[in-house]
Amino acid sequence: MYDCVIIGAGPAGMSAAVYLNNANKKIIVLEKDTPGGKILKAKKINNYLGLDNIEPSDIAYNMYSQLMNNKIKINIEKVLNISKDDSKIIITTDKNSYITKYVILACGKIEKSLNLDKEDELIGNGISYCAECDGNLYKDKVVSVIGNNNESIKDAIYLSSISKEVIYINYSNEEVKFDHDNIKVINNLKVSELICENNILKGVKLSNEVVIEVDGLFILTGSTPNSKIIENLNINLDNGYIVVDNNMKTNIDNIYAVGDIIKKQLYQIVTAASEGAIAAVNIAKLIN
């Protein structure tokens, strides 16, 4: 049995791991993707004290290396279910099952999808949820952006400096205008179908049956807390975000939450790292 299982290897989860490891607790970190979390989707990190204008990949690698240097185990596994009884918490992944006394949820946010057929299969083959991450793959090509917020507008402008043409499909109720010759705006229409060939995106069909040929599609309609795996635990939520107390504890005993998955005012690396430390210290005290 583990003292604590940490779900998520972003700044919050890795911070918690370091503190619990320093307290000599038996822990493991479970991460379904690449350690680093949302850090990897930033352009530059220039608001973390002592790390001015650092590359996102560098700070993520430094965090990961610190865990490796301290022999903290990170397993790349997708958590499917969490169940709890009076004495233990059982975590089931796509590969294993774990029993633990405490759990720290550091699952972060996930990008909102369009829930279209073949969308998942086309990720990396024409579909992206991050302009800064994948924009350079579409130099001098035609891309489309599906957006409904200010961030998607900024990303469309960013892509216009790389791509030949950007087609902005406006999913908001407000009019959008760009002062860029190579950005075209489509209002009052939705994407109804993804057109692909040999599992490569070739275009999109709009709700008026018009097909637009594009090399890439950036779905930038925001994100939502990754709280699906806790649906059966009766954890208090606020618009999908986990509600915690000052110790990062949920309303369920022995279950804590930190980082972008919790309800708070500021979503930054510095607050995530702090929350991970607070949760870890409090759990270590309770175990002792």
Nearest alpha carbon to residue 7 among 42, 26, 25, 33: 33
Domains in the chain, CATH or no CATH each: 2-111+223-287 (3.50.50.60), 127-220 (3.50.50.60)
Q: Which residues of 64-97 are buried (b: 16+ CB within 10 A; e: fewer)?
A: beebeeeebebeebebeebebeeeebebebeeee
DSSP state of 40: G
| pLDDT for 221 | 93
**Angle at CA of residue 262, ends 106 and 120, nearest 5°:** 60
Local structure of 19: helix, strand or coil: helix
Regions of the chain short of the pLDDT cut 50:
none
Closest CA to 146 of 80, 230, 222: 222
Q: What's the confidence (pLDDT) of residue 79?
A: 95
Measured CA to CA, the distance from residue 106 to residue 90 in angstroms comes to 17
Asked if residues 65 and 72 have their Cβ atoms less than 8 Å apart, the reply is no
Neighbouring residues of 166: CB distance < 8 A, sequence distance ≥ 6? 142, 143, 144, 145, 156, 159, 160, 180, 182, 183, 184
Number of other CB atoms surrounding residue 175 within 10 Å: 8
φ, ψ of residue 207 to 5 degrees: the values are -65, -15
Instruction: Of 45, 44, 16, 47, give the one whose Cα is nearest residue 29.
Output: 16
- For residue 113, the model assigns a pLDDT of 86
Per-residue pLDDT of 31-68, as tens digits, reads: 998 899 878 766 678 888 888 888 888 999 999 999 99
In one-letter notation, the amino acid at residue 52 is D
Handedness of CA 180, 186, 191, 192 (dihedral sign): negative
For 206, phi and psi rounded to 5 degrees? Answer: -90, 170
Residues 6+ apart with CB under 8 A from 224: 109, 110, 112, 240
109-111 and 97-105 beta bridge pairing = unpaired
Beta strands in 106-163 (DSSP E): 109-111, 127-128, 142-147
Straight-line distance from the first to the last Cα atom of the chain, in angstroms, rounded to the nearest whole number? 16
Is 106 in contact with 6 (CB distance < 8 Å)? yes
Tokens coding 246? 């000052």
**pLDDT score at 93:** 96
What would the two tokens of residue 265 be?
A: 């005012």
pLDDT given for residue 43 in this prediction = 62
Bridge-based pairing of strands 142-147 and 127-128 is unpaired
Relative orientation angle of helices 11-22 and 269-287, to the nearest 10 degrees: 30
